[in-house]
A and B are shown apart, each in its own frame.
Chain A
Amino acid sequence: QVQLQESGPGLVRPSETLSLTCTVSGGSISPYYWSWIRQPPGKGLEWIGLIYYTGTTNSNPSLKSRVTISVDKSKSQFSLSLSSVTAADTAVYYCTGPHTGVFLNWGRGTLVTVSS
């Protein structure tokens, strides 16, 4: 079974860029789609965007101008960058996939706090 693990800083300063990486193990990153989802503390789930193994992406319009998702097939990793963060971006960030319209496999999630 595919396993996913998020990694990255747990604290980001306002106006800076949040950067996370998801490492995929137990399966190939090709030829699948992979997604990022976030959950603010005590709130619901928000889909951030996805990436195909070829590098094609699709992002939530609510975040699109600030989101960059990339993939490194050689390392079986995909990454999320979210620019110009504010306190509203404080959340648990999950990587998931393969994306088939639903989200079967999830990472444990990583809490990212935006604070000075």
Chain B
Amino acid sequence: DIQMTQSPSSVSASVGDRVTITCRASQDISSSLAWYQQKPGTAPKLLISSTSRLQSSVPSRFSGSGSGADFTLTINSLQPEDFATYYCQQGNSFPVTFGGGTKVEI
């Protein structure tokens, strides 16, 4: 199985801050990396697919980058609605695996 390691596990930030979350795969996954946002009591929401492809309706302050085994989710100018938990996910091979999550909190 491909292990996905996210860091940090939590981050304290303020409105307007820039937040960077990293995700490292245990092997090369090409660009098959997605990011999800999850708020308490709700299902995860797909933000970014294929490393950097922003889903429609997702604000442009979210961006993704990386390749191979190292990936980054950046949130520019953090907004109140961005406080949530973020997960990375690899779709390069089965079984599909997720990172452990990064909680963005005040």
Residue numbers of A with Cβ under 8 A of B are 35, 44-47, 58-62, 94, 101-104, 106-109
Contact between chains at B96 and A44 (CB < 8 Å): no
A101 to B41, CA, bound (A): 24
B63-106, CB under 8 A of A: which get 1 and which 0?
A: 00000000000000000000000010101001111111100000
Contact between chains at B95 and A103 (CB < 8 Å): no
10 residue pairs A–B, Cβ–Cβ below 8 Å: A44-B98, A44-B99, A44-B101, A45-B89, A61-B1, A102-B91, A103-B34, A103-B46, A104-B46, A108-B43
B73 CB to closest chain A CB (Å) equals 14
Once A and B bind, how many residue pairs between them come within 8 Å at the CB atom?
A: 49
Given A102-B34, A107-B43, A108-B43, verify A45-B98 contact (CB < 8 Å).
yes
A104 to B36, CA, bound (A): 10
B 19-65 contacts with A by CB, 8 A: 32, 34, 36, 42-46, 49, 55
Main secondary structure of the interface of A (DSSP, over half): loop
A101 to B34, CA, bound (A): 9
When A and B form their complex, which 6 residue pairs have the shortest distance between CB atoms, in order from nearest? A101-B91, A106-B43, A47-B96, A45-B98, A102-B34, A60-B95
B96 CB to closest chain A CB (Å) equals 4
A99 CB to closest chain B CB (Å) equals 9
A94 to B96, CA, bound (A): 15
Chain B residues within 8 Å of A45, by CB = 36, 44, 87, 89, 98, 101
Most buried by B among A35, A58, A62, A101: A101
